[in-house]
Amino acid sequence: MLEPKKKYGELAPSERILLGAGPSGVDPRVLRVMSTPLLGHLDPEFIEIMDDTGDLLRYVFQTENTMTLPMSGTGSAGMDTVLSNLLEPGDKAIVAFCGVFGERMIDIAQRTGAEVKVVSGDWGRIIEAEQIEAAFKEMPDAKLLAFVHAETSTGIMQPVDDIVRIAHEHGALVAMDCVTSLGGAPVWLDKWGIDAAYSGTQKCISCPPGLSPISMNARAQKALNSRKTAVPSWYLDLTMIERYWGKERFYHHTAPISMAYALREALRIIAEEGLEARWARHEKNAQAFTAGCKAMGLEPFAQEGYRLPSLITLKVPANVDDAAARKHLLQKFNIEISGGLGPVKGQIWRVGLMGSNSTSKNVFLALTALASALNAQGFKASASAALEAATAVYDA
């Protein structure tokens, strides 16, 4: 008989200050509800929790869409759900790409058998409306336009109005990735005319990773119900899952009960604070942190005027080792930040001030820790100048 390779001790993970690209820190209230007793996935009490969660998600998405629910899985499951449910072999799609997550959209869309036209932009810059217009001139019968509202790999927040207008003028559906913006920056599904969107629980919602909120309007549902072929993924098939989250309560798969508890509580916290107040908090803390970084000689990476308030990207200075600086932050301050991905690997840092982690306390702590990490490598960074600049933003 095989035996365990060693005697395994009790799990005791370190308490990190998660200021990276995700996951973010979780409110103690959310962790507390995860330890409460399990219910069955068809228990009347759990069904009430499902109803509460749907209502709260509609609030956070700012939508009245009936099909608004959390998919079992992380944000990538939401991406896969939206694209694989709306696209099928022979369809045409336009995907805007200026970072890792736009790249993933392309991959998934191609796997559905759709013909995909890529609109590419420089990393760290937005996709311009003129590029979308040009793409529709080349592919006027595109069924879907997909884009990333909050590009986690670059810190860019993509303007929405013009590209949605262009897509709808050509009769196309619009699918939006708001994984790093939902709950931390304005997201208005109905006002913007977004047909389908998805997010994740582990960013600005401040919930552990494990669920992916999605929402589809009537236009998207019509396209889903008009498919000529079955959705390729049984597990992510919304034609079945909507029957469980809808009035039928038809069993599809066992819901992750404790994660549903956690999401409901995290959304309840958002509702208590109020969306506009929450958005303003993220914006103010991002401004203060950015001002402090500039004061000690760091340069923002993302295009000015289009920077995410929840994820700030910074250029790694010349002669500073990216990995060594992040190791310093982890070992000396217990702080995690993220490095760059793809072509900007080793060239940028990604600092998340998301959800419950978006506080002035964390801004001051992160600035002090960054100054220490930079000085350790010979880059002269003044922590006092950084803190003074951040304070000036708060006092304004």
**Residue that finishes a domain, picked among 213, 248, 271:** 271
Residues 317 and 266 in one domain: no
Query: Is-cis flag, bond preceding 232, omega within 30?
Result: no
What is the pLDDT, as a whole number, of residue 246?
83
pLDDT, average across residues 231-259: 91
Write down the pLDDT at residue 307.
Answer: 98
The pLDDT of residue 245 is 87
Reference 112, options 97, 96, 93; nearest CA is 93
Give every CB contact of residue 223 below 8 A, 6+ residues apart in sequence. 86, 143, 173
pLDDT of residue 251 exceeding 90, the answer is no
The count of structural domains within the chain is: 2
Domain-terminating residue out of 209, 244, 271: 271
Q: What is the pLDDT of residue 325?
A: 98
3-state secondary structure 167-230: HHHCCCEEEEECCCCCCCCCCCHHHHCCCEEECCCCCCCCCCCCEEEEEECHHHHHHHHCCCCC
Span 35-41, mean pLDDT?
A: 95
The closest of 188, 192, 127, 131 to 154, measured between CA atoms, is: 127
User: Which residues in the chain belong to E strands, given as ranges?
Assistant: 17-18, 67-72, 92-97, 115-120, 144-148, 150-151, 156-157, 173-177, 196-198, 211-216, 299-300, 311-315, 335-336, 338-339, 348-352
Tokens of 237: 């098939």
DSSP label of 357: G
What the block records as the tokens of 206 is: 């401040």
194 and 282 inside one domain: no
pLDDT confidence tier of residue 200, bands split at 50, 70 and 90: very high
User: Quick one: pLDDT at residue 91?
Assistant: 98
Q: What percent of the chain has pLDDT over 70?
A: 100
For 256-309, the pLDDT digits (tens) are: 999 999 999 999 999 999 999 999 999 999 999 999 999 999 999 999 999 999
| Domain match, 34 and 103 both | yes
Q: How confident is the model at residue 248 (pLDDT cuts 50, 70, 90)?
A: confident
Cα 36 from Cα 29, distance rounded (Å) = 11
What pLDDT does 65 receive? 98
Mean pLDDT (whole number) for 14-22: 95
pLDDT-based confidence at residue 247 (cuts at 50, 70, 90): confident
**CATH number for 312:** 3.90.1150.10
- What pLDDT, in 10s, does the model give residues 312-355? 999 999 999 999 999 999 999 999 999 999 999 999 999 999 99
Average pLDDT, the chain: 96
Same domain, 156 and 210: yes
Query: Is 316 in the same domain as 357?
Result: yes
pLDDT reported for residue 74: 93
Residue 343 lies in a domain: yes
Among residues 171, 167, 124, 122, the alpha carbon closest in space to that of 147 is found at: 167
Do both 370 and 223 map to the same domain? no
**231 and 338 part of one domain:** no
pTM: 0.96
CATH number, domain of 79, equals 3.40.640.10
- Are residue 145 and residue 288 in the same domain, yes or no? no
pLDDT of residue 244: 87
Of 245, 271, 297, the residue that ends a domain is 271
pLDDT of 249 reads: 85
Q: What is the pLDDT, as a whole number, of residue 169?
A: 98
User: What's the token pair of residue 195?
Assistant: 């047909």
Range of the domain at 363: 275-395
